[in-house]
Chains A and B, each alone.
Chain A
Amino acid sequence: MTELEIFRLILLTFLVVCAAASAVSRSMLVTVIIFMTYGLVMSILWVVLRAPDLAVTEAAVGVCITSSLFFVTLRRLNLIRKRGEEDADSEEGK
């Protein structure tokens, strides 16, 4: 087994753990953050698999764009709140 293979195995394990964790985690915010991590690990894996094109795309799409869409959605659903902002933003959900 080469070093590369061991590295790949570690990354794969990490991916599976991330996926399982995001499946069982109970808070939405934590789920989305775990999913971000998953995307990041995936983009490292793309580099290891000799696909740098995909690494750039996955890093930009999986980590930036998809997660920011998730965060905006959670914000609109009032699942993330700013500190001290208890019941503002009520017209958002209307």
Chain B
Amino acid sequence: MKKGSKRPSLRQLWQDTDLDLSRIRPADPGDDDQVRWEQAHARRLDAAELRLFRRAYPVLCVILCLILSTALVLTVAYMPAFGREDSPTNNEVAARYIEGATAEAGAVNAVAGMIIYFRGFDTLGEAHVLFSSVCAVMILLEVEPDRRRLRRERAEDRLYDLTRDSVLKEVTRVLEPLIFLFGLYVIFNGHLSSGGGFSGGTVIGAGLILHAVAFGFTDTERFFNRKVFDVIRVAALLFYSAVMLYFFYTGANDLDAWIPRGTPGSIFSAGFILPVNLAVGLEVACTMYAMFSLFRRGRV
């Protein structure tokens, strides 16, 4: 089923060659599955109804998308102009987020003040989006490691360790502390300068991934395994929920909330923004690394 023999050119353009069926190796030879698969493959080529559908489908899609993009560009053209001071979004809401950033939230970074102090419920949901997605990825990819698989993984790891690029290792050795330091800086300075839990957490997660790539999972498991992952994310999210519940309860009932605001600009200030940033950062870092690990070897 090589491309380019008889199909319309439009379709050629929008189909990839990489995943062409002819390139796919069948599973184990002699397998029942394979026979069935090959039969299906043969029949698939002359499913007439589907051929018609496939030919009509791109045309329909192009038309639909052209309509959509024209409509959207036209709509946007009639929206408030770009970069002006008199745009409707520049209203009292935005003004208070900036004015209240230091006065109410105690944060110098108005974005951190807004997402954690003013709109804390959204951000609580956001942290749980990551949690739910790692649950879904676990459902799809997690495999229980039996002894054989573990042994094979170890052996592979050792083999990779010998053959792995020494340039990568040396560069990682130099870069890694810097990456982690930068990540921690971004988390701890989330209320003072741009950044925060999500940004810093992803940086740290990227650092963990780099470590795993350069030194192997066996090495990473010395300080990060399933248990650590579970403890960190459960503790971080529960802490976050508890803090937010306290905020919601005191805020809605007009009670005086105990918020240690400190002096804006110093590191221990801005109430709960720093601990919340820390919790979120840890959770994000763990989750990012866990996703990579799940994809790579089917477990955290």
Contacts and interface: CB of A to CB of B under 8 A. Distances in A.
How would you classify the secondary structure of chain A's contact residues: helix, strand, loop or mixed? helix
A26 B16 contact: yes
Contacts, number: 67
A24 B13 contact: yes
Nearest to B213: A68
* Chain A interface residue number, banded: 20 to 34
B18 A65 contact: no
B194 A65 contact: no
B27 interface: yes
28 contacts: A24-B14, A26-B16, A27-B17, A29-B18, A31-B16, A52-B195, A53-B109, A53-B111, A53-B196, A53-B199, A56-B186, A56-B200, A56-B203, A57-B198, A60-B199, A60-B202, A61-B202, A64-B209, A65-B202, A65-B205, A65-B206, A65-B288, A65-B291, A68-B209, A69-B295, A72-B296, A73-B295, A93-B27
A21 interface: no
A42 to B, nearest CB: 15
A64 B18 contact: no
A3 B195 CA distance: 27
A53 B195 contact: yes
* Chain B interface residue number, banded: 20 to 34
Given A27-B18, A79-B18, A57 B202 contact: yes
B199 A28 contact: no
Nearest to A53: B194
How would you classify the secondary structure of chain B's contact residues: helix, strand, loop or mixed? helix
A72 B198 contact: no
Nearest to A77: B19
* A-B interface, 3 closest residue pairs, ranked by CB to CB distance from nearest: A60-B202, A52-B194, A64-B206
A39 B199 CA distance: 15
B25 interface: yes
Contacts of A53: 109, 111, 194-196, 199
B203 A72 contact: no
